[in-house]
């Protein structure tokens, strides 16, 4: 691998296991509404779809209708509570820090492309002491479009000062897989994230089970370029 290559990461379910703290925020808003709270394992596959989706799915599961205005209000309450408790139980996936340190030593350009709101993504990365690794963090509210639209990923790559043919996306979901495919960028799927379909259905260039496998996978992809 050469220093002009860049690696773009998704955040939730890829860099950090954020589901416990997201579930806490969901519990906060649902209990006030006397809505049954789904358990953590039920919530995990929906984390990548955002707070609004999590809340809407919870109401749908209980067959209770909610207006868009009420849903908007609950979403903002969720975000406020989550921001104040963003790194209570969230954890880095094993081997991540060592992998990022090695990539940094190699001169690899690193960025984050996430559908999480930008200020929340930046806050989480700061709290987890990961922010120094990434020159660019582009959240779902930073542009007029977000993943799986290709421009979200392509703009992240551009801001990292790289180009699509020198980049790869690391993620855990159909949204990430579609974004990479739409941008014509190789996609490496992590098996430990929040994917709600079989990993084989993602059409990933490679699948890794741990971060110790990432650099060999990158070398295989970039070595062929």
Helix (H) and strand (E) counts in the chain: 9, 8
Q: In residues, how long is the chain?
A: 225
Q: How far apart are CA 86 and CA 89, in angstroms?
A: 8
Query: CA–CA separation, 61 vs 80, rounded Å?
Result: 24
Residue 129, φ and ψ in degrees, nearest 5: 60, 45
Question: Is 72 among the catalytic positions?
Answer: no
Six token digits for residue 150: 């290709």
Nearest-Å Rg of the Cα atoms of the chain is: 17
Task: Check 3, 10, 68, 89 and give the catalytic one.
Answer: 10
Whole-number Å distance between alpha carbons of 209 and 159: 29
CB atoms < 10 A from the CB of 208, how many? 20
d(CA 50, CA 31): 19
Residues with catalytic function: 10
């Amino acid at each position: 691998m050469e220093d002009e290559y860049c690696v773009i990461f998704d955040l939730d379910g890829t860099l950090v296991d954020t589901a416990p703290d997201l579930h806490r925020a969901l519990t906060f808003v649902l209990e006030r509404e006397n809505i049954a709270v789904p358990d953590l394992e039920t919530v995990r596959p929906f984390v990548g779809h955002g707070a609004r989706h999590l809340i809407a799915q919870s109401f749908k599961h209980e067959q209770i209708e909610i207006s868009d205005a009420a849903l908007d209000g609950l979403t903002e309450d969720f975000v406020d509570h989550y921001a104040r408790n963003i790194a209570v139980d969230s954890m880095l996936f094993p081997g991540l820090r060592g992998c990022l340190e090695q990539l940094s030593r190699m001169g690899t350009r690193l960025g984050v492309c996430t559908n999480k709101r930008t200020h929340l993504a930046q806050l989480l990365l700061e709290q987890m002491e990961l922010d120094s690794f990434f020159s660019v963090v582009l959240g779902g509210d930073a542009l007029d479009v977000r993943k799986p639209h290709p421009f979200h990923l392509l703009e992240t790559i551009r801001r990292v000062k790289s180009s699509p043919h020198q980049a790869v996306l690391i993620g855990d979901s159909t949204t990430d897989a579609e974004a990479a495919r739409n941008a014509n960028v190789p996609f490496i799927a992590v098996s430990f994230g929040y994917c709600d379909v079989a990993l084989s259905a993602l059409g990933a260039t490679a699948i890794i089970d741990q971060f110790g496998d990432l650099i060999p996978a990158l070398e295989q992809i970039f070595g062929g370029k």
